[in-house]
Structure 1
Amino acid sequence: MSPVSSHASHGQSPLRTVQVLGGGNAGSSAHVRSLAAGLVARGVRVTVCAPVEADRAYGFTAAGAAHVHVPRSSDPVSVAALRTACADADLVHAHGLHASFRAVLALSGRETPLVVTWHNHARAEGPRGHLLRMLERRVVRAAAVVLGTTSELVDRARHRGARDARLAAVAVPRPRFGYEHPERPPSKVRAELGAIARPLLIAVASLDAHRGHELLLDAARAWRLLDPVPLLVIAGEGPLRGTLQRRIEDEELPVRLLGRRDDVGELLAAADLALLPGSWEARSVLAQEALHARVPLVAVRTGSVPELVGEAAELVPPGDPEEFAAAVVRLLGDPGRCQALREEGAGQAATWPTEDETVAQVLSVYDELTRPVPFGRC
């Protein structure tokens, strides 16, 4: 049986927690939704402070949590709203650097324990990079515990001065309409995408810089010579959409930009390969979902990707579209290797923490920080 909060088990009033989320990328937002549901099920009161659009997309209230709209901004009005929301909290848990910084400002002068989870490595250069390092130091020195989703992030937090930094890899919740029981059969999805008699490749990422989309388009020039020509679909939205669409049209590339989708699980179930040309996420959501769905993955060997996938993916050097294209072509022509990757992927995914284990670990940290001091002890 899953553990419950020690507050509930000792007959005390329920533990009151506030989860602070910024704009939230897919991984951190899905984690907060999963965490909220798991904590509520264990007798913990949860309030999620996040922009209203995040609640619409991830359903924190549907998971049993209260929701307070707090904009991403660190202006005084937003900080004041967060401070009010945290007034009765026994513990505050902030996710991501900017949300954590707002929590530090909101909790100034209070003794409420702050737990911080770093989901990703914030990257910037020049003056912005210097500012990010200052924010990191401010946050980790104010936090009672810093949880890093990879060993690299744990080391980074310790280097910035964290008093207590621990590894806490998070589970990826299954998509609402997933690959295990899709509402639409894969054949129908492929027909809708125009990939009935051709291989279907999928990438999922916001259309931002450093996501590797340019590398994907470079690689697509090579596999358009195949017969039949594979179709690459990219699910995601962002500022580079216009630039990428012009390249696709000008170079007549076999690529479709699908925009924002809520059926990624079904897209994965229909795909022949999943592609990860770049990742700034500490634990790539697409990589985890692809392995869970038993879809062969081609990914760049960068950041924490090798630690995450082990031998269960085709890894290629970053920034090399020729090698990336070659790996895709090899897999499309080697059903045996694809089957081996499916089996290895399922085995690798089985080593990752479950949602239940993730919630249990976080709850143990909460209880450690809020456990009453026995009478007579200092």
Structure 2
Amino acid sequence: MKVALVMGTSAGGTGRHVHDLVAGLVTAGHEVVVLAPAGELAQFEIAQTGAATVELSVADRPHPKRDAGAVALLREVCAGADVVHAHGARVGALTALALAGLGVPLVVTLHNASPGGGLAGRVHAVLERVVARRADLVLGVSADIVETQRRLGARRAELAVIAAPPPPEATRDRYAVRHDLGVAPRTLLLVTVARLAPQKDLDLLVDAMAQLLERHDLDVVAVVAGDGPHRERLQARIDALGVPIRLLGQRGDVPDLIAAADAVVSTARWEGQPVGLQEALHSGAAIVATDAGGTGAVLGDAAILVPVGDPTSMARALADVLLHGAVRDDLRSRAIGRAGELPDGEDALEAALTAYDSVL
């Protein structure tokens, strides 16, 4: 089978998924070409999979001249494919336009929901409509994306199968990690792994911690591994409220942090199939998370889920976990069990091939 895969700019998860999918397809004997920006081709080592690569000039924002060139290139390269698989709303829409009249089946995987209001939200809504109306099959990483595509009139919209990351390996024991962080052995430690950006809603963590400590006399500290545009504003709120939250910046020892935690916390407004929480499952962590996007589908019953944007519910859930060792132990046991149920690379490859066969 001749398969063309198309990818735009990627922050990480999409690129890793495409790399693994391409590697699996090549190993299975399929002829694969990947069209993506030069940076993504290099970052995710696409050429090393054995697939052919074509540099595609696309960016996050519309650019009429550049986008017209991308459509022309997509049409030229993809014309001889048996199936085309695009990843993301923007390149999905451009690919749909490129394939018009060629009769080449198009599968689009949507990895992110709409960013909400404003110009970005309006542009994303247009891209979603183009994908819904022109793709032969749309795969969404969460049920809300699938439902949106069905509402927009997609011929077929189904849940995507994304392989879970390999189990992370901690390199230090929890006491060494806590010592390096300056956290006493008996201090309760919460760990959040997130970009400091609106989607992750770390204000919720700040507000929940403030409520938690108003109601309970706890020796607890939360650390956040990650960086982003909201760092200064978030630090100002932490300082103003005097809550024990430390912004660690980018870290190369996230598995160590997770293994040292009494609980792992996610406050996101939306997630697809969150890699960090899958890693936390593999680590056997007690998890408290917002029921955002595909989070609940990933975690199953192996976490305490709270409504998005609700600091009172988050504070109550954190209190339940931190005050009761039996609750933590139960969640840890459930996490290990749930980790064994997550899809792997073979599952993702099989699902992709089934999707391709269904549109041929």
TM over 0.5: yes
1:189 to 160, 164, 177: 177
For residue 110 of structure 2, the aligned residue among 92, 105, 118 is 118
Letter in 1 for 2:84: V
Change in CA separation of 1:47 and 1:223 when aligned onto 2, cut-off 3 Å: farther
Question: 2:177 aligns to what SS in structure 1?
Answer: helix
Q: Which residue of 2 aligns with 1:4?
A: none
Task: Summarize deviations over 1:54-89 as a string: whole Å, max 9, x none.
Answer: 345443334444444433254333552452553553
- Aligned position for 1:245: 235
Report the counterpart of residue 21 of structure 2 in structure 1: 35
Distance in 2 of aligned mates of 1:248 and 1:67: 46
Match of 1:151 in 2: 143
Identify if the C-alpha distance between structure 1 residues 269 and 41 changes in structure 2 by more than 3 Å, giving closer, same or farther.
farther
Question: Does the 8 Å contact 1:224/1:254 carry over to 2?
Answer: no
How many Å separate the matches in 1 of 2:126 and 2:298?
Answer: 28
- What letter corresponds to residue 77 of structure 1 in structure 2? R
Unaligned runs of 5+ in 1: 1-14, 371-378
Residues 190-243 of structure 1 show CA distances to partners (whole Å, capped at 9, x for unaligned) of 333333523322212222214221111122334567777333222223221121
Secondary structure of 1:280 counterpart: coil
Counterpart CA distance in 1 for 2:31 and 2:253 is: 31
1:201 aligned to 2:187?
no
Change (3 A) 1:135 1:203: same
User: In structure 1, what is the Cα distance between the partners aligned to 2:146 and 2:212?
Assistant: 39
Q: 1:264 aligns with which of 254, 259, 270?
A: 254
The answer as to whether partners of 2:164 and 2:342 remain within 8 angstroms in 1 is no
1:38-53 mapped onto 2 (5 Å cutoff): 38-53=24-39
Alpha-carbon distance in structure 1 between the residues aligned to 2:232 and 2:266 = 21
Moved more, 350-359 or 77-86: 77-86
User: Which SS does the other structure have where 1:112 is aligned?
Assistant: coil
Post-superposition offset of 1:265: 2.9
Given the alignment of the two structures, is residue 103 of structure 1 paired with residue 90 of structure 2, yes or no? no
Alpha carbons of structure 1 residues 134 and 222: separation in structure 2 relative to 1, 3 Å? closer
Deviation at 1:334, TM superposition (A): 1.6
The 5 Å alignment of 1:83-102 reads 83=74, 85-86=77-78, 88-102=80-94
**In proportion to residue count, which structure has more helix?**
2
Comparing 225-234 and 262-271, the one that deviates more: 225-234
SS at match of 2:224: strand
Q: Work out the CA distance in 2 between the residues paired with 1:353 and 1:281.
A: 17
- State the partner residue of 1:162: 154
Asked whether the 8 Å contact 2:143–2:293 carries over to 1, the reply is: no
After superposing the two structures, state which structure 1 stretch, 333-342 or 302-311, moved more: 302-311
Summarize deviations over 1:20-57 as a string: whole Å, max 9, x none. 22222443233222212222221223333333443454
1:331: how far off?
1.1
> What is the identity, as a one-letter code, of the residue corresponding to 1:336?
A
- CA distance change for structure 1 residues 281 and 318 in 2, over 3 Å: closer, same or farther? closer
Deviation per CA, 1:263-287, whole angstroms, max 9, x where unpaired? 4333322322111112412323233
After superposition, the C-alpha distances for 1:254-306 in whole angstroms (9 at most, x for unaligned) are 22223334543333223221111124123232332222221011112344433
Aligned equivalent of 1:136: 128
Q: Is the 8 A contact 1:30 1:173 kept in 2?
A: no
Q: Which residue of 2 aligns with 1:344?
A: 334
Q: Offset at 1:159?
A: 1.8
Give, in angstroms, the shift of residue 129 of structure 1.
4.3
Deviates more, 1:204-213 or 1:86-95: 86-95
Which of 286, 298, 320 aligns to 2:310? It is: 320
- State how far apart, in whole Å, the 2-side matches of 1:155 and 1:231 are: 39
Which has the larger displacement, 322-331 or 226-235? 226-235
Q: Secondary structure at the match of 1:311?
A: coil
Q: Is the 8 A contact 1:149 1:282 kept in 2?
A: yes
What one-letter code is carried by the residue in structure 1 that aligns with 2:178? R
Q: Are residues 129 and 227 of structure 1, via their aligned partners in 2, closer, same or farther at CA, if it must alter by over 3 Å?
A: closer
1:324-361 CA-partner distances (Å, limit 9, x unpaired): 12322321222211111112222333333222111111
1:80 partnered with 2:63: no
The separation in 2 between residues aligned to 1:208 and 1:137, in whole angstroms, is: 26
Taking structure 1 as reference, are residues 54 and 186 closer, same or farther at Cα in structure 2, changes over 3 Å only?
A: farther
Alpha-carbon distance in structure 1 between the residues aligned to 2:83 and 2:139: 15
One of 264, 269, 278 as aligned partner of 2:268: 278
**Counterpart of 2:271 in structure 1: which amino acid?**
E
Q: Tell me if structure 1 keeps the 8 A contact 2:291–2:307.
A: yes
Is the contact made by 1:147 and 1:154 (CA closer than 8 Å) also made in structure 2?
yes
Are residues 233 and 64 of structure 1, via their aligned partners in 2, closer, same or farther at CA, if it must alter by over 3 Å? farther
- The verdict on how the C-alpha distance between 1:66 and 1:248 changes in structure 2, with shifts beyond 3 A counting, is farther
Structure 1 residues 21 and 224: alpha-carbon distance in aligned structure 2, compared to 1, 3 A threshold: farther
Amino acid corresponding to residue 361 of structure 1 in structure 2 = A
**What is residue 278 of structure 2 aligned with on the other side?**
288
What secondary structure is seen at the aligned counterpart in 1 of 2:158? strand
Q: Is the 8 A contact 1:33 1:59 kept in 2?
A: yes
**Is the 8 Å Cα contact of residues 165 and 278 (structure 2) preserved in structure 1?**
no
Task: Give the number of equivalent residue pairs.
Answer: 352
User: TM-score of the superposition, structure 2-length normalised?
Assistant: 0.85
**One-letter code of the match for 2:352?**
V
**Distance of aligned partners of 1:18 and 1:167 in 2 relative to their CA distance in 1, 3 Å threshold:** same
Q: CA 1:269–1:56 in 2, change beyond 3 Å: closer, same or farther?
A: farther
